[in-house]
Amino acid sequence: MSAPLPFTLPPAFIHRVQETLGEQFPAFLEALRQPAPVSIRLNPLKLTSSPNLEPVDWTDTGFYLPVRPLFAADPWWHGGGYYVQEANSMFLEQAFREAIHGVEDPVVLDLSAAPGGKSTHLASLLPAGGLLVANEVIRARANVLAENVTKWGTGNVVVTNNDPVHFGSLAGFFDVMLVDAPCSGEGLFRKDPEAVREWSEASVQLCSQRQQRIIADAWDALKPGGVLIYSTCTYQKAENEDNLKWLLENESVENVPVPLNPDWGVEKVTAGKLEGYRFWPHRTRGEGLFMAAVRKTNGKLHQPRRSRNKAITPATRKEMDMVQGWLSGEADYTWIRHNERLLALPDGSMNALEQIAGNLKIVSAGTEVAEIIRKGVNPLPGLALSVHLNRETFPVQEVEPETALRYLRREDVLPEGSPNGWGLVSYRNLPLGWVKRINNRANNYWPKEWRLRMDLAEALKASEQEDRLIHRT
């Protein structure tokens, strides 16, 4: 006899899923009894070698871990070497590759982006010259999003803090729009007991209506010919296929098929002439997910207008000279001055940034390279964590696990042999951040809001597990 579930499923949910799955329903329940799989996605521009771990089928950079370690004890996690992400969500890679096929320098919107799993994935997949706008309506969550994007370090992301309706002023602007919509959360029942307690048939209907409203609010921002990628973490047809049918009835759209490998176990479903892809936990190693891609076939192209945000201006030659050599390939960037900070974005992105700044509230943009202090500049955390950092410009101090963890706790560590002035703390060849040595002391410039609050002894013990799982496997 199988063990009981660790939570009580709502009867209405059981009835509907049982009707949908038929003889597969016992296998579905058995999957919910098992621990949720643990998976990570590597940053391909920071970690160039693959660990000896089981890969996730639909992405080049995803891997399963045999157990869940205490990630906060791993400096690589803090330094953006990898992102802890649910495996099925990484299917976005397949849909996005289809969406940008043949598009040069795409401008992409992740409408509901916090905490940043899908945004960091998109940032890694963007071609050179592409730009991602990662948006979050709740300011506290937008700050978390900006932190994760900064740590990822690709420098091709603008984080904004806006309601979906605000994007209507950027009509015809985006080549791709991802709507990872708030939903009833059925696919997360195994991981989140609170989602089980909050579920009801009424909440499903409210979620469906909210999802339609979000799409409708932002729909004009998508170019004609642009692609909407729609996803939820629920099995509900009312939130998935029915919303595709609603879109088909109210807008001019066509299907964008995503190739599937039959061995993946992904279920293809139809909604009129549109397709969707459903992930069940008994058929794939991950949580519940639905994803679809549709192309907008009408509408108007964006008509640019000058930015109303005077805080964003092109950096002067003098300002750029102060950070000369700090980034590799300096000709590949657009340099911006924003609120006494020097930012670097993909070359040619000034026009797009002006449109974004003139219509949206920017939280962070590109690589934050330096803060302008009187007649000089100080390097910022975003530079240390950037994949574009020129490591030959600053002294690099490679440190052992204990010193790395002390640094992340914002202790004033003084790496042996470090010279006076600015130095870069690095762990296993992955830069973490800045210290500034002044004779016999050193100031720690790891941001206060990112400080590791874990007890040092506990963190050191936990880091040994990460070492076995990720670094030496």
CATH number assigned to the domain comprising residue 465: 3.10.450.720
Q: Kindly state the average pLDDT of the residues 373-377.
A: 88
Q: Kindly state the average pLDDT of the residues 454-460.
A: 91
Asked whether residue 158 falls in the same domain as residue 289, the answer is: yes
What pLDDT does 1 receive? 45
Using CB atoms within 10 A of its CB, is residue 146 exposed (0-12), middle (13-18) or buried (19+)? buried
Q: What angle (nearest 5°) sits at the alpha carbon of residue 368, between those of residues 362 and 373?
A: 105
Q: Give the active site residue among 215, 233, 343, 353.
A: 233
Is residue 187 within 8 Å of 235, Cβ to Cβ?
yes
Span 178-207, pLDDT tens digits: 999 999 999 999 999 899 999 999 999 999
Asked whether residue 452 falls in the same domain as residue 409, the answer is: yes
The answer to the question of residue 194 being in a domain is yes
- Specify the DSSP class assigned to residue 383: H
**Please, which pLDDT band fits residue 306 given cuts at 50, 70 and 90?**
low
Higher pLDDT, 164 or 5: 164
Asked whether residue 268 falls in the same domain as residue 379, the answer is: no
> What domain count does the chain have?
3
Span 22-70, pLDDT tens digits: 999 999 999 999 999 999 999 999 987 778 899 999 999 999 999 999 9
Span 68-87, pLDDT tens digits: 999 999 999 999 999 999 99
Among 272, 296, 320, which residue terminates a domain? 296
The answer to the question of residue 198 being in a domain is yes
Percent of the chain with pLDDT over 70: 96
Amino acid at 238: A
What pLDDT does 311 receive? 73
Asked whether residue 191 falls in the same domain as residue 328, the answer is: no
The answer to the question of residue 30 being in a domain is no
38-42, strands of its sheet edge to edge: 54-55, 62-65, 38-42, 82-84
**Please, which pLDDT band fits residue 221 given cuts at 50, 70 and 90?**
very high
Instruction: Please state, in angstroms and as integers, the Cα–Cα distance from residue 436 to each residue in 395, 412, 441, following that order.
Output: 11, 10, 8
What pLDDT does 300 receive? 78
Asked whether residue 93 falls in the same domain as residue 207, the answer is: yes
pTM: 0.95
Span 11-23, pLDDT tens digits: 999 999 999 999 9
Among 384, 406, 439, which residue terminates a domain? 384
Among 265, 296, 327, which residue terminates a domain? 296
What pLDDT does 329 receive? 81
Specify the CATH number for the domain of residue 234. Answer: 3.40.50.150
Phi then psi dihedrals of residue 146, to 5 deg: -65, -40
Asked whether residue 339 falls in the same domain as residue 403, the answer is: no
What pLDDT does 415 receive? 78
Asked whether residue 140 falls in the same domain as residue 252, the answer is: yes
Asked whether residue 218 falls in the same domain as residue 355, the answer is: no
At 235, is the secondary structure helix, strand, or coil? Answer: coil
Per the structure, the complete domain to which residue 323 belongs is given by 312-384
The answer to the question of residue 216 being in a domain is yes
Q: Where are the alpha helices (DSSP H) in 5-88?
A: 11-21, 25-33, 75-78
Asked whether residue 270 falls in the same domain as residue 360, the answer is: no
Asked whether residue 143 falls in the same domain as residue 279, the answer is: yes
**pLDDT for residue 318 is more than 70:** yes
- Annotate 275-329 with DSSP letters as a single string: EEEEE-TTTSSS--EEEEEEEE-----------S-TTEEEPPHHHHHHTTTSBSS
Q: Give catalytic status of residue 183 as yes or no.
A: no
Instruction: Please state, in angstroms and as integers, the Cα–Cα distance from residue 313 to each residue in 72, 307, 342, 470, following that order.
Output: 37, 10, 10, 42
- Specify the DSSP class assigned to residue 417: T
Amino acid at 395: P
Q: What is the mean pLDDT of the chain?
A: 93
The answer to the question of residue 27 being in a domain is no
Instruction: Please state, in angstroms and as integers, the Cα–Cα distance from residue 98 to each residue in 94, 105, 176, 180, following that order.
Output: 7, 15, 11, 17
Is residue 241 within 8 Å of 269, Cβ to Cβ?
yes
What pLDDT does 473 receive? 45
Q: Report how many helices (DSSP H) and strands (DSSP E) the chain contains, helices first.
A: 14, 23
Strands 174-180 and 107-110 turn out to be parallel
Span 410-435, pLDDT tens digits: 998 987 778 889 999 999 999 999 99
The answer to the question of residue 202 being in a domain is yes
Asked whether residue 103 falls in the same domain as residue 248, the answer is: yes
Span 321-371, pLDDT tens digits: 999 999 998 668 999 999 899 999 999 999 999 999 999 999 999 999 999
**pLDDT for residue 90 is more than 70:** yes
The answer to the question of residue 76 being in a domain is no
The answer to the question of residue 433 being in a domain is yes
Q: How many whole angstroms separate alpha carbon 151 and alpha carbon 382?
A: 7
* Sign for the pseudo-dihedral over CA of 275, 276, 277, 279: negative
Asked whether residue 364 falls in the same domain as residue 402, the answer is: no
Instruction: Please state, in angstroms and as integers, the Cα–Cα distance from residue 137 to each residue in 278, 315, 452, following that order.
Output: 27, 29, 26
**pLDDT for residue 296 is more than 50:** yes
Using CB atoms within 10 A of its CB, is residue 409 exposed (0-12), middle (13-18) or buried (19+)? middle
Q: Kindly state the average pLDDT of the residues 220-232.
A: 97
